[in-house]
């Protein structure tokens, strides 16, 4: 039986700021079975698709030999990112029709997964399935690995989080509070600042767009300095944070969304500050931390059920809304985890 399979494909490689017209919705069809001869393959009906800033890098064309975290998207083929789905058919012994899974999938209604090692069974279906695009999926693991494994928080540490109301930032702050830290976040609107204080338990927060000086804002919030800076934005915010790091401080470099669409990236002027105070600056890729996922999933599910962690989602309905949702990430249009509901 063949059914419709709409997909979001890349029309052209992107330079500078992406626009919706760089993508298009293409109508296709798919057979509701794994093609004959394909062993250990899984056909998934996608229920939710995750929108994440890291997709921007794959929309550009990189020269051979340039180090990139993942290969460029192919023009005319469906974009790829994490999603949540239900197994329709499988030739893999570990997956059966009806299983709920999350992992790498196409931006389409159905995806044939030929490398099912990227799929994970959902162990807590009693919680919202959409959480596996965010707080219980790659996004949550990113927050957990960054603050716990890389940042190594200690009770009483002063923690600063940029893009704090976003998919990763909202979880980072709550985990830091559980660890006994003093936590301040920055966000791009007064609405998001209020959310940080009232919903996510941040001790303080500020709207970076309305501050005359980022350095002054950080001095106000951290008169004694910062122990951990969880960096989601790079650029001017990273530069200002470096001025205020304490001795032995840690800068956890998770993302640099302020730089992704610039043809000429901003420079970092205050890097010299890391020398006298022995500050550790460490970038990380969540792909190197999937070995702790099982531990993370159980801990996070427990926090959610106990009310220690809450998640805010920004959900759009229908695959035709996916391009606009992705573009909106780069102007801060979303509030919380951005995702697309398909079914």
Which residue shows structure tokens 């919680």? 127
Q: What are the pLDDT digits (tens) for 73-90? A: 999 999 999 999 999 999
C-alpha distances (whole Å) from 70 to each of 30, 56, 58, 263 are: 26, 11, 7, 19
3-class SS at 287? helix
Same domain, 20 and 64: yes
Q: What is the mean pLDDT of residues 17-42?
A: 94
Same domain, 129 and 265: no
DSSP-assigned letter for residue 149: I
- Answer whether residue 217 shows pLDDT above 90: yes
Of 63 and 34, more confident: 34
Same domain, 167 and 154: yes
Same domain, 188 and 275: yes
| Dist CA 56 CA 23 (whole Å) | 12
Which residue shows structure tokens 């205020």? 244
- Domain around 113: 2-134+311-341
Residue 296 lies in a domain: no
Same domain, 44 and 74: yes
Residue 298 lies in a domain: no
| Dist CA 57 CA 72 (whole Å) | 8
- Answer whether residue 65 shows pLDDT above 70: no
Which stretches of the chain are DSSP H helices? 55-58, 138-144, 169-178, 190-198, 214-221, 235-242, 293-306, 322-328
Looking at the whole model, is its pTM more than 0.75? yes
> In the chain, how many domains are there?
2
Burial 12-36 (b: 16+ CB within 10 A, else e): eebeeebeeebbebeeeebeeebee
Same domain, 158 and 277: yes
Q: What are the pLDDT digits (tens) for 284-322? A: 999 899 999 999 999 999 999 999 999 999 999 999 999
- The continuous run of DSSP H or E covering 7 comes out as strand 7-10
Which residue shows structure tokens 């992705």? 326
Determine the pLDDT at residue 70: 77
**Residue 67: pLDDT band by 50, 70, 90 thresholds?**
low
- Answer whether residue 165 shows pLDDT above 70: yes
Residue 154 lies in a domain: yes
Same domain, 103 and 183: no
Q: What are the pLDDT digits (tens) for 94-150? A: 999 999 999 999 999 999 999 888 899 999 999 999 999 999 999 999 999 999 999
Determine the pLDDT at residue 71: 85
Q: What are the pLDDT digits (tens) for 219-278? A: 999 999 999 999 999 999 999 999 999 999 999 999 888 877 777 888 889 999 999 999
Same domain, 99 and 126: yes
8 A C-beta contact, residue 83 and residue 102: yes
Same domain, 203 and 323: no
Distance of CA 223 to the CA centre of its chain: 30
- Answer whether residue 176 shows pLDDT above 70: yes
Q: For all residues of the chain together, what is the average pLDDT?
A: 94
Specify which of 160-169, 251-260, 330-339 reaches the highest per-range mean pLDDT: 160-169
In sequence order, what DSSP letters do the residues of 42-85 get, joined into one string? EEEEEEEEE--TTHHHHTS---TT---SSPPPPBTSB-EEEEEE
Residue 18: partners with Cβ closer than 8 Å, 6 or more residues away: 56, 59, 261, 326, 327, 330
In sequence order, what DSSP letters do the residues of 235-257 get, joined into one string? HHHHHHHHTTEEEEEEEEE---T
Determine the pLDDT at residue 62: 82
Determine the pLDDT at residue 68: 62
Same domain, 22 and 43: yes
Calculated CA dihedral for residues 184, 187, 189, 191, nearest 10 degrees = -60
């Amino acid at each position: 039986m063949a059914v419709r399979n709409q997909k979001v494909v890349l029309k052209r490689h992107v330079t500078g700021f992406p626009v919706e017209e760089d993508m298009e919705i293409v109508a296709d069809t798919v057979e509701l079975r794994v093609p004959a001869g394909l062993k250990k393959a899984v056909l998934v009906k996608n229920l939710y698709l995750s929108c994440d800033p890291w997709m921007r890098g794959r929309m550009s064309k990189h020269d051979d030999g340039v180090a990139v975290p993942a290969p460029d998207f192919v023009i005319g083929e469906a974009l790829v990112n994490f999603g949540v789905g239900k197994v329709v058919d499988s030739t893999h012994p570990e997956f059966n029709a009806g299983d709920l899974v999350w992992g790498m999938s196409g931006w389409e209604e159905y995806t044939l997964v030929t490398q099912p090692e990227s799929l994970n069974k959902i162990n807590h279906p009693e919680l919202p399935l959409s959480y596996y695009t965010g707080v219980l999926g790659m996004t949550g693991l990113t927050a957990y690995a960054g603050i716990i494994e890389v940042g190594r928080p200690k009770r009483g540490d002063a923690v600063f989080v940029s893009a704090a109301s976003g998919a990763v930032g909202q979880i980072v702050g709550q985990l830091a509070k559980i660890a006994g830290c003093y936590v301040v976040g920055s966000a791009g609107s007064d609405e998001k600042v209020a959310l940080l204080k009232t919903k996510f338990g941040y001790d303080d927060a500020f709207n970076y767009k309305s501050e005359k000086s980022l350095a002054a804002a950080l001095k106000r919030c951290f008169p004694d300095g910062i122990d951990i800076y969880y960096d989601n934005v790079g650029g001017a915010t990273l530069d200002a944070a470096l001025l205020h790091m304490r001795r032995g401080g840690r800068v956890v470099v998770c993302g640099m969304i302020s730089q992704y669409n610039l043809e000429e990236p901003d420079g970092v002027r205050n890097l010299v500050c890391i020398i006298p105070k022995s500050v550790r600056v460490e970038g990380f890729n969540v792909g190197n931390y999937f070995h702790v996922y099982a531990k993370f999933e159980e801990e996070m599910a427990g926090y959610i059920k106990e009310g220690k962690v809450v998640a805010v989602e920004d959900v759009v309905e229908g695959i035709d809304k996916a391009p606009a949702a992705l573009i909106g990430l780069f102007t801060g249009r979303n509030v919380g985890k951005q995702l697309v509901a398909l079914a």
